[in-house]
Structure 1
């Protein structure tokens, strides 16, 4: 089980954590959304919740809830500038299809 960050994503997360000293790390998971079913969610972790799996990557703690874990295991989180905006990108090996806009995904378990 693992979650990783590219160097540019690691730098961005560390920047957010430095600006928010109360944050424990990064909270990463999924929520039901979009036309394909699941959407990635990344935010600051302000508390450890019951059942969280905690990964440490280059000193950054990443908190993943038990429902999200099988859907995001092995994901690499990246960060990029796109046009005038900036966004986190997710390379999720569990995603078998994405919607046209790339905001949501499905897994093999969703098809079964």
Structure 2
């Protein structure tokens, strides 16, 4: 028998799980550039984004400063910002865009998530279905 030789096929670029608008990236860069309020000198490595159960629609988006990158975090670099996505939330967030909006009464981060199917009246909680595996 002859040995079958294979050549590695180049992998196609993997799309980012989430994208930031320029307004959101500028706001995150501004927040991260400020000194920590807890007195610690170690800078944050990024912004952790996730989804948790709660609210009247069933789920809520979460934001937190990240001091370390966990082994299973999805790391997204976009417009000079490091976003860390909790592995339990990745299927709920794929394809999302994070924006930062300022109105007369508020300033807030806003998710535009193609996986979101519903939201409560106050806008604090959402219903999200996870992405299913796509066929090649």
TM-score (normalised: structure 2): 0.73
Pairing 1:73–2:94 present = yes
User: Is 47-56 or 87-96 further displaced after alignment?
Assistant: 47-56
Alpha-carbon distance between aligned partners in 1 of 2:128 and 2:105, rounded to the nearest angstrom: 31
User: Is 17-26 or 83-92 further displaced after alignment?
Assistant: 17-26
Specify which of 39, 58, 64 is matched with residue 60 of structure 2: 39
- Larger helix fraction of residues: 1
The 4+ residue runs of structure 1 with deviation greater than 2 A are 82-85
Residue of structure 2 in register with 1:104 after alignment: 125
Q: Where do 1:5-84 residues align within 5 Å?
A: 5-20=20-35, 22-84=43-105
Displacement after TM superposition at 1:43 (Å): 2.4
Q: Which has the larger radius of gyration?
A: 2
| Count of matched residue positions in the alignment of Structure 1 and Structure 2 | 109
TM-score (normalised: structure 1): 0.88
Bigger relative contact order (CA 8 A; separation at least 6): 1
- Larger strand fraction of residues: 1
